[in-house]
Structure 1
Amino acid sequence: MMRACVAAAVVMLAGCASAPPEHFYSLSSGMGVVQAPAVRAAYYIELPAVTVPQQVARNQLVVTTGTGRVDLLELERWASLPASEIGQALSLTISGELGTIDVFRSPVPDKAPVYRISTNVQRFESAPGQYALIDAVWSVRLVGSTQVLTCRSVAQETVGAGYDELVAGHRRAVARIGGDISRAVKALAAGANSGC
């Protein structure tokens, strides 16, 4: 009996030791070094929480594997929830391109212009070896103004095999959307009639 218990314990420990490791991915890592403005920014941005579709609002990667079929990958995970990952990556991209600061939940100098950017991700699709897609509706408004610019950006990136490639494709998609938003903020700050 004792020998059987010891053998069972050894098998269990061997199974634990050979369990595949979890992998964690981030959309904001690898976005490049953002240089802080040397002087006070002419204006600031404020990027509140991003919203994402409920089916992808989880740490596990959710991938499309066939027509209408999705798989939840237990061992391939986001470092934080996708809404947070997208928000952080957008903040880094936009503030870096504009040479400004994201002051969400931070005090700002009196009378400083702040552009609020709201982002609603309507589709966040991951098809390994095929594409990474982000479809987002976003708006920009000068805080204190009633005028709002609302636009839609769809960024689809072709990706190679593997989850690293898939995540890199999502990073490129976020960077493209961040570029669209940055151009709109820059135009609004210059007093131009910005369109989508």
Structure 2
Amino acid sequence: MNTKSAVRNGIVAMALAVGMLPLAGCGKSAPTHFYSLNATPQKSDAAPAGPCMSVGVGPVDFPAYLDRSQIVTRSGGNRMHLAEFDQWIETPRENFQRILTENLAGLVCAKPLVTYPWPTGGHPDRQIVIQVARFDGMLGQDTVLRASWSILDADGNNVAWRSNEYRESVAAPDYESLAAAQSKLLEQFAKDVAASLLGN
């Protein structure tokens, strides 16, 4: 092979290598972003409302369509969307129960405040059983929580039953804004659950 042929072949090889660089980048998937609901800090320094009693939160029943790590949103009509690269950091049911419990801690005097299943050998004075029918929304529009809850005494008797629907606007068309709006829904829900516990 003469010098000219070697140089020509080298240029061709280099051009092919440079041309393949964009294709190499195509094999990388988008990074996954993870989200969580947040509890709302109580602004008052006053002690939570009494009387004090042991309270248990759960079980919490979630619909099957939400029982997944991908964030579920609606896109109009009957269409639902699963966000492959925007996911909950823990299961939605566990996240919902944990944040509800944190919110309740600042609203009622509960000693102790536990989540279902209870510690071995213990049973709370009041148990909150929750059924969530809907907890989703549309990016940049609004999000909805539709739930029912029962308050049971230590013997398992139903002392209160409530059902309500909550709506909150989503500030921007992104998943962080959706999670923030859903956190506000859970704050509203916790206030109603606390009122039920206090007999209001």
TM-score range, shorter chain: 0.7 to 0.9
Q: Compared with structure 1, are the counterparts of its residues 24 and 113 closer, same or farther at alpha carbon in structure 2 (3 Å cutoff)? A: closer
Question: Is 1:184 paired with 2:193?
Answer: no
Q: Report the Cα offset of residue 145 of structure 1.
A: 5.0
Residue 153 of structure 1 contacts residue 180 of structure 1 at CA under 8 Å; is this kept in 2?
no
Q: Which residue type is aligned with residue 181 of structure 1?
A: V
Residues 1-196 of structure 1 mapped to structure 2, 5 A cutoff: 14-15=25-26, 19-27=29-37, 29-32=38-41, 42-100=52-110, 101-104=112-115, 105-106=118-119, 114-144=125-155, 146-161=157-172, 162-187=174-199, 194=200
C-alpha deviations, 1:27-60, integer Å up to 9, x for none? 1x3533799x8xxx82011012311111111110
C-alpha deviations, 1:141-170, integer Å up to 9, x for none? 111152431110211101122211111110
Percent identity for Structure 1 against Structure 2: 22
Q: TM-score, normalised by structure 2?
A: 0.76
Distance, in Å, in 2 between the alignment partners of 1:123 and 1:20 is: 29
* Structure number with bigger Rg: 2
Q: Compared with structure 1, are the counterparts of its residues 30 and 117 closer, same or farther at alpha carbon in structure 2 (3 Å cutoff)? A: closer
Q: Compared with structure 1, are the counterparts of its residues 106 and 53 closer, same or farther at alpha carbon in structure 2 (3 Å cutoff)? A: same
Residue 39 of structure 2 contacts residue 103 of structure 2 at CA under 8 Å; is this kept in 1?
no
Structure 1: gaps spanning 5 or more residues: 188-193
Report SS of the residue matched to 1:48.
strand
- Write out the 4+ residue segments of structure 1 that deviate beyond 4 Å after TM superposition: 7-13
Q: Which residue type is aligned with residue 187 of structure 2?
A: A
Q: Which residue type is aligned with residue 88 of structure 2?
A: W
Distance, in Å, in 2 between the alignment partners of 1:94 and 1:107 is: 22
Q: TM-score, normalised by structure 1?
A: 0.78
Higher strand share: 2
Distance, in Å, in 1 between the alignment partners of 2:40 and 2:113 is: 16
Q: Report the Cα offset of residue 95 of structure 1.
A: 2.1
Report SS of the residue matched to 1:169.
helix
**C-alpha RMSD of the superposition:** 3.0
Residue 45 of structure 1 contacts residue 102 of structure 1 at CA under 8 Å; is this kept in 2?
yes
Report SS of the residue matched to 1:99.
strand
Q: Compared with structure 1, are the counterparts of its residues 50 and 9 closer, same or farther at alpha carbon in structure 2 (3 Å cutoff)? A: farther
